[in-house]
Amino acid sequence: MDAFAALLVSAKLKNTKSWRNLLLPLTIRYDQLHVLLQLTFGWQNDYFYTFHASAENSKQYMPASYEAMGVTEQLEPSEYAEQNYLYPDLSAGPVDYEYAFNGGYSIVLTLKQTVTFAELKGRNLPFCTSGRGSNPPNELTIEQSDNGDESEVFHRNRLNRAFMLWTRAGDQMILADGDDLEDIDLNDEEN
């Protein structure tokens, strides 16, 4: 029985293009996925986000807290990220992740295949199986050179360690403004 998704995450910002292959449970909600994508690219949750299901243009997902903050006035009608799961939309087509509204980020999530328990080969989830390209910068104000020197280098083992710490924290781990992973030694294993 399939219980996991092999997901391709493609990101582009100005001169920075990168991709990551992730293994995730089929039961991941959009709010949980947002945190994992922040970890995936070394971002710090500095901007608003939404998810758009490509197969159904009318479906958009955002945090319930945006209503209290007045952010919803700028957005089309949405469903709550905390109450909806990625897989039903992803199985119908790509899902777009909009981070930093109008910031120039292009992040597309594509289902490569579903995976069984036996095919996991003992991996903990979530897990990054591979990736290429530097992390797009979190700060939109950073001017990039032609070779993208300002971007953080991608280290698969460091990312998987961050994922492992996230699974231990469960729903309690929320990256708030000013918080980051610098206090945690993620350099145990370099990729």
Q: Rounded distance, CA 160 to CA 40, Å?
A: 9
Is residue 153 one of the residues assigned to a domain? yes
Q: Could you tell me the CATH number of the domain that includes residue 129? A: 3.10.290.30
Is residue 78 one of the residues assigned to a domain? yes
Domain that holds residue 13: 2-172
| Domain count of the fold of the chain | 1
Q: Per-residue b/e over 75-94, b at no fewer than 16 CB within 10 Å?
A: eeebbbbeebbbbebbeeeb
- Do 41 and 22 touch, CB atoms closer than 8 A? no
Each residue's pLDDT expressed in tens, for the chain with a length of 191 residues? 789 999 999 998 777 789 999 999 999 999 999 999 999 998 888 888 999 998 766 688 999 888 888 777 767 767 999 999 999 999 999 999 998 877 778 899 999 999 998 898 888 899 999 999 988 887 665 544 444 445 678 999 999 999 998 888 754 444 443 444 444 444 444 44
Q: Rounded distance, CA 66 to CA 44, Å?
A: 18
CA-nearest of 163, 168, 188 to 36 is: 163
- Do 120 and 6 touch, CB atoms closer than 8 A? no
Is residue 13 one of the residues assigned to a domain? yes
